[in-house]
Structure 1
C-alpha cells in the first residue's frame, strides 16, 4: 500500500466485539491502538470524529461526551489528535487539514441512508472511504478489499469524482455552453424583443438560488412573468390551497405573460442559463437549483443533491417534469449525484431537445 499523507478516523456504534470505554459508543480508541502497533499499514491519523446514531431519528449525530473521548484518544495514541465535531462543515474541514482517507472503524447498517449519504459527501470531494470490517453493499462504488497484517480494509470510491473526471465535466460544460450560446443567439434576440414589446419591462429575471455545497448564486432566465411577480406568489399559493415549500407548483398562474407562457412551455426561458454554466456557477446537466426555503426542507438523503453543481437540464426535466410526484423527483436527483457520467449528460441533453419539441408536464 502506498503511503497516505493523512487519514481521518470516523466511527459509528456497531462492532460490539472490541471493548470500549463505558459511556462511549465508538471504536476509535481500539483502532488507534491497532494502527499505532502496526505502522506498516501506512495510515497516519490526523484527526478523529466520533459519532453515534440518534435512537429517535435514526440519523448520525456527534458523540456528546467530548472529555471522555479526548481522554481515551490520548491513552491510545502518542500524538495529540484533534477531535472534530460531526456537522455540515465536516468535509471542508477534512480537506483543509489535508486528509486523504476517511476510515470508518465499524460498518454502518447495510443499505442504510446513513452509510450511503455519508459516503457520497466524502467521495464527491475526492476523499477515499476505508472500512475496517467486511464489505458493505454500496452500489455504484468501485471497491477494493485489502488484507493488511490481519486487518481487512475495504476502500470505496466514485470514479466520476476524481480530479480528472471533474476537469472533464468542467470542459464539457464550457464547450456545450459556448456552442449553445452561439447557436441560440438569434432565438434569444427574438425572445428579448418580444418580452420588451409586450409590457416594456425587464428582459431578464434573476433570482438567488442555492448551488453546490449550499453556496448561493444568481440564476438568470428570460422574464416570463409580470414585473414583481415574486411579491404575489405567497398570496396565490394560499388561494390555491398550497404553502411555500419545496414542491409547490401553480398550474394556473395569472402572473405569466403571453410571451412567458410560450417560452416556459418550450423551455426557451432557460437559455440565459448557458451563461451561468459558462462562468461555472451552474452545470449544463444536474439537479435543478432551488431556493433557500426549499433547501431548508431537505432531509439527509435529498441534501446530497447539493454535492454537485445545479444544472440547466437533468433527470427531472426529461422524465415528466411537474407531473412527477415528490418521491419520484427526489429519487431522480439523488440517483444523478451517485451515477452521473459524461455519456449520461449527453443523453440528458438529447432528451431535453426532444422535450422542448414535444413538451409535457411543463407549467
Structure 2
C-alpha cells in the first residue's frame, strides 16, 4: 500500500479541521494584544525610560485617543485583507498587507491629528508605530510557524480532492505530500470518464469521474478541490462546477501544469474574462549582477576576519593529528563550466581520493552526489570539522576571489558534472555557493533527486531576499548538525 493510501485509510472518516475557521480570529486577537502592549510601552517610554530629553506624561491624551487609534488601526488591517483566510500559511502577501496597513494607519493618524489640531505627542507616535510594525510581523511569523508545525503533525489540514488525468493528479499529489506544511490532505481524485483505473500510480484512490465533481466532493467531505490538466472538457463545464460548489463552502483551485516556480515570477492577468498566467523568465542572470557580487565580497571579507581564531584552532588540530597537509585543494567546476581550485580544511586521510572508486563499487553508488554517512576516510578531527561545517570555511577565500558565492548550488568535481543532463546543467548558470537551499533543507539527509530539485529551484527563482533567508537558516542547520556527515 502506498503512503497516500495509508494516509487515507487512517483519516478517511475525519472531517475538515474546524479550527481553521478560527485562524483569522486568532490573528486579530494577536494583533490587538501587540497594539495594546505597544501603546502602553510608548506611554511609559515617553515618560519613564529616558528616551527623550523632556519626559512628558501623555497618558491622559492617550486614554482618549488610544482606543480610536487601535480601533482604526485594526479596521485598516481588516479592510486591506490582513485577516483573509487565503493569506495564512504561505507566501509573503500576509506580511505585505500587515506592513502596508500599518503605514497607512500611521499616515491617517498623523493627518487626522493635523486636521483636528489634536495634541498627540510626536514621541508617542514614533514609539508606538516604530515598535508595533516589527512586532506585528514577528507575531504573524510565529503564528505561521505554529500553523506549519501543527500541519506537519496532521492537524489544521484541508481535505483535498484532485480532479484531472492520473498523471496530473500524481504530479499535484506528490507536491502536496512533499510540502506537508501547506496543510493539504489528499483524500482521493476524480479522473475523466474514459479512465477506468481505481488508483493512480502514487496510490491516490479514484472516487469518481470529473463530471460528477459536485456529488463526489460533498460525499467525500472535501473542503478544497483542485482542478488539474485533463479534468474537464470545456470552460463551460468548469463554470458549471464552480456554480454548483459555491453554495457548499468548498474552495475551488485551478492547478496549472507548472511546478517549482516562485510566486515572484507568476502574474495572473484576466484578458476578456480569461485568466492568463504569465511566468517571468528565470532569474539566474540576476544572480550574477554586481549587487550579489558586492554582497559576497563584503560578507566574505567580514567573515574571514571574524573566523580567524577558528581558522587557527582547526589548522592546529589537523596538523597535530597526523602531521599531514592542513588544507585540501580540489578542482571543482564553477560558473559556465570553468574549473577552479576549491579550498577546504582536510578532513580525510591523505590518500582519500584513491579510495573513492572502491567505495562506490562497494556501495553501488554513482559518482553523482556521492556521499557516505560513515565514511572510513574521515579522520578524528575531520568529524568535528564536518559536524559544524568548519571544514568549509576556507571557501570564504574562494568567495572573495570570485570563484564562488556565499549562496548557491554546491560546486562539484568534473566527473560529477559529466553526468549532468540538460536540466542539471542549469546549475552552472550561477556561481557555486558555500551554502544553498538544499543544505538548509536537510543537507545529506535528502535524496539526490530532492537535492537537485532544490538547486534548480534556486537557480530559476533567485532573489536577494531568498539569499538572506538561506544565510539566516544556515546558522540553524549548522548548529543542529542535521544531515551533516
Question: What's the TM-score, normalizing by structure 2?
Answer: 0.42
Is 1:200 matched up with 2:304?
no
Q: 2:384 corresponds to which residue?
A: 262
Give, in whole Å, the separation in 2 of the partners of 1:291 and 1:303.
13
Q: 1:300 corresponds to which residue?
A: 422
Is 1:175 matched up with 2:306?
no
**Retained in 1: the 8 A contact 2:333–2:339?**
yes
Please give the residue correspondences for 1:179-258 in structure 2 after superposition, counting only pairs within 5 Å: 179-239=302-362, 241-258=363-380
Deviation at residue 156 of structure 1 after TM alignment = 5.2
Return closer, same or farther for 1:159/1:248 CA change in 2, 3 Å cut-off: closer
User: Whose RCO is larger (CA < 8 A, sep 6+)?
Assistant: 1
Give, in whole Å, the separation in 2 of the partners of 1:300 and 1:159.
18
**Retained in 2: the 8 A contact 1:208–1:218?**
yes
Give, in whole Å, the separation in 2 of the partners of 1:355 and 1:137.
30
Residue-by-residue CA offset, 1:292-343 (whole Å, 9 max, x unaligned): 1111111111111110000000012111111111221111000000111112
Partner secondary structure for residue 220 of structure 1: strand
Please give the residue correspondences for 1:58-207 in structure 2 after superposition, counting only pairs within 5 Å: 139=261, 141=265, 157-158=281-282, 161-162=285-286, 166-207=289-330
**Greater share of helix residues, 1 or 2?**
2
Give, in whole Å, the separation in 1 of the partners of 2:422 and 2:284.
22
Return closer, same or farther for 1:291/1:260 CA change in 2, 3 Å cut-off: same
Higher Rg: 2
**Retained in 2: the 8 A contact 1:160–1:166?**
no
Runs of 4 or more off by more than 2 Å in structure 1? 136-145, 154-163, 236-239, 241-244
Q: CA RMSD in A?
A: 2.5
Is 1:327 matched up with 2:449?
yes
Please give the residue correspondences for 1:285-296 in structure 2 after superposition, counting only pairs within 5 Å: 285-296=407-418
Q: 1:118 corresponds to which residue?
A: none
Give, in whole Å, the separation in 1 of the partners of 2:283 and 2:413.
30
Structure 2: unaligned runs, 5 residues or longer: 1-228, 230-256, 270-277
Partner secondary structure for residue 173 of structure 1: helix
Q: Work out the number of aligned pairs and report it.
A: 219
